[in-house]
Amino acid sequence: MPDASRRNESSRQAILAAAFELVGEVGYAKLSIEGIAARAGVGKQTIYRWWPSKGAVLLDAFLMLSEGDGGGLPDTGDLEADLKTVLRATVKELTDERFDLTMRALSSEIMHDPELARMYAERLDEPVRELKKQRLRKAVEAGQLSDVDLDVAVDVIWGPVTVRWMQRGPLTVEFADQVVETALSGLRP
Amino acid sequence: MPDASRRNESSRQAILAAAFELVGEVGYAKLSIEGIAARAGVGKQTIYRWWPSKGAVLLDAFLMLSEGDGGGLPDTGDLEADLKTVLRATVKELTDERFDLTMRALSSEIMHDPELARMYAERLDEPVRELKKQRLRKAVEAGQLSDVDLDVAVDVIWGPVTVRWMQRGPLTVEFADQVVETALSGLRP
C-alpha cells in the first residue's frame, strides 16, 4: 500500500472510531462533523470529501463494527438450532449499548433521509437479507421449510425482534427462542 | 360545555389539524411550534401550555385521526379471516400518505425522545396491544390458537408488517394475507 493510501486508511479508521465514541457520549442530535473531525484529529474537509452527512459516517462506523459477520448464516443442518443461534446473537447485539445507540440513531435518520435509506438498504439491509434467504433456501431444499415466499419468511422470523427492540420491549434470548419456535411451528394448536 | 371549554376544544382541534397539514407540507424537521401556531391562528404559548414538544402535538394529532378505531378487533369467530381484515386495514393506513408521514416522523422522534416514547407507549402502543391480546385470548379459549405467550404472538403477527413498512419494502394486502397464513400455520412443511 502506498503511503498516501495508508494515511487515508488510518484517517478513515480514526474518523469512524471517533464517530462511534462521540455518538455514545453526546447522542445523535449533538453529533457533528466538526466534533468528529476534532476527535479524530483531521480537518472537517477530509470528512466531507468522503461522506455526505453525519448519518453516512455513522453507517460506515456501524459497517466497520459488523465486518467479520459477513460469512453467511450458520448451517449445521438443524434449521431451528441455527435460527436460534442467529437470533440470540442479534438480541445480544441489540442489547449492547454501542450497537443499540448507533442503530437507533441510524434507524431514526433513515426515516428522514432517503439518500441514507438507500445507502443503508444497499450496503447493509439487502446483503444481510440475501444471506438469510440463502440459508432458508437450503432448508426448503432439505424439506425442512415449506416452499413459501422467502421474503415473507425472513420478515416473519426476524421482524418480531426488530419491532420489540424499536418499542423497547423486553429483548431476551428466551424471546428469540420463542419467536423461532412460533415462526416454524405456527400459532395454531 | 362552558364557553371557555368550547374555545379550548376548538383551539385544540385547530392546532392538531394544523400540525397534521404542516408535517405533510414541510416534513418533520421543518415543523415548528411557531409554524403550527401561525397556521392554527393561536399564540405559541397556547401550544406550550398543552404540549411539551412538537412530537407530542403530532402524537395527539395522530390519536385524533385514529379515534373511531378504539372498539376492539373484529371477532367473527374465524381468527384467520379476522386477522386478515385487521392487517389489511393496517397496510391501507400505512400506505396512506397522511398516516405514513406522521408515523415516520413519530417513529423517528421516539428513537431520541424517551418522554415521547413513554407517551406513545402509554397512549397508543399499549392500549392497541391489549386489544390484540384480547382477540387472541378468545382464539386460545376457542381452541383456534395454541396456548403461547400472547406478547410473542402479537409480535409474530404484527411485527412483519411494521418492519416492512419501516424498511420501505412492498407493503400490499397480499403480504398481509401471507403473514397471517404463515404466522398461523408456521414455516415448516
What average pLDDT does range A171-182 have in this prediction?
Answer: 96
pLDDT per residue over A74-109, tens digit each? Answer: 999 999 999 999 999 999 988 988 788 888 888 888
B108 — contact with chain A (CB < 8 Å)? yes
For A48, what's the count of Cα atoms within 13 Å in the CB-facing half-sphere?
7
Q: What's the rounded Cα separation, in Å, for the pair A48 and A57?
A: 10
Q: What is the pLDDT of residue B13?
A: 92
Give me the amino acid identity at B163.
V
A175 — contact with chain B (CB < 8 Å)? yes
Q: What is the pLDDT of residue B68?
A: 53
Domain boundaries, chain B: 3-53, 68-185
Q: Residue length, chain B?
A: 189
pLDDT band at A29 (very low <50, low <70, confident <90, very high): confident
User: Cβ contacts (< 8 Å) between B146 and chain A: which residues?
Assistant: 187-189
Q: What's the rounded Cα separation, in Å, for the pair A82 and A75?
A: 6
Indicate whether B76 pLDDT > 80: yes
The cell for A7 is 494515511
For B68-185, the fitting CATH number among 1.10.1660.10, 3.40.50.300, 1.10.357.10, 3.40.50.1360 is 1.10.357.10
Q: What is the DSSP letter of B29?
A: T
HEC readout, chain A: CCHHHHHHHHHHHHHHHHHHHHHHHHCCCCCCHHHHHHHHCCCHHHHHHHCCCHHHHHHHHHHHHHCCCCCCCCCCCCHHHHHHHHHHHHHHHHCCHHHHHHHHHHHHHHHHCHHHHHHHHHHHHHHHHHHHHHHHHHHHHCCCCCCCCHHHHHHHHHHHHHHHHHCCCCCCHHHHHHHHHHHHHCCCC
Domain A3-53 identical in fold to domain A68-185: no
Q: What's the rounded Cα separation, in Å, for the pair B86 and B19?
A: 27
* Stretch among A21-35, A59-73, A118-132, B32-46 having the lowest mean pLDDT: A59-73
Q: What is the pLDDT of residue B183?
A: 96
pLDDT per residue over B83-136, tens digit each? Answer: 999 999 999 988 988 788 888 888 888 877 888 888 988 988 898 899 999 999
ipTM: 0.83
Indicate whether A69 pLDDT > 70: no
The fold of the B3-53 domain, in CATH, is Arc Repressor Mutant, subunit A (1.10.10)
User: Cβ contacts (< 8 Å) between B121 and chain A: which residues?
Assistant: 167-168
Average pLDDT of chain A to the nearest whole number: 89
Q: What is the CA radius of gyration of chain A?
A: 19
Q: Which residue has the higher pLDDT, A161 or B114?
A: A161
Average pLDDT of chain B to the nearest whole number: 89
* Contact check, Cβ <8 Å, B152/A166: no
State the residue for C-alpha cell 397471517: B180
What is the four-CA torsion angle of B186, B145, B175, A154, rounded to 10 degrees?
-40
Q: Residue A108: which of B112, B125, B189 has the nearest Cβ?
A: B112
User: Cβ contacts (< 8 Å) between B145 and chain A: which residues?
Assistant: 187-189
Q: What is the pLDDT of residue A78?
A: 95
State the residue for C-alpha cell 415466499: A149
Q: What is the pLDDT of residue B78?
A: 95
B160 — contact with chain A (CB < 8 Å)? yes
Give me the amino acid identity at A65.
L
Q: CA nearest B90: which of B172, B17, B178, B155?
A: B172
Indicate whether B33 pLDDT > 80: yes
B26 — contact with chain A (CB < 8 Å)? no
Q: What is the pLDDT of residue B67?
A: 63
What average pLDDT does range B34-55 have in this prediction?
Answer: 95
CB B156 within 8 A of CB A183: yes
Q: How many other C-beta atoms are found inside a 10 Å radius of the C-beta of residue A160? A: 32
What average pLDDT does range B23-38 have in this prediction?
Answer: 90
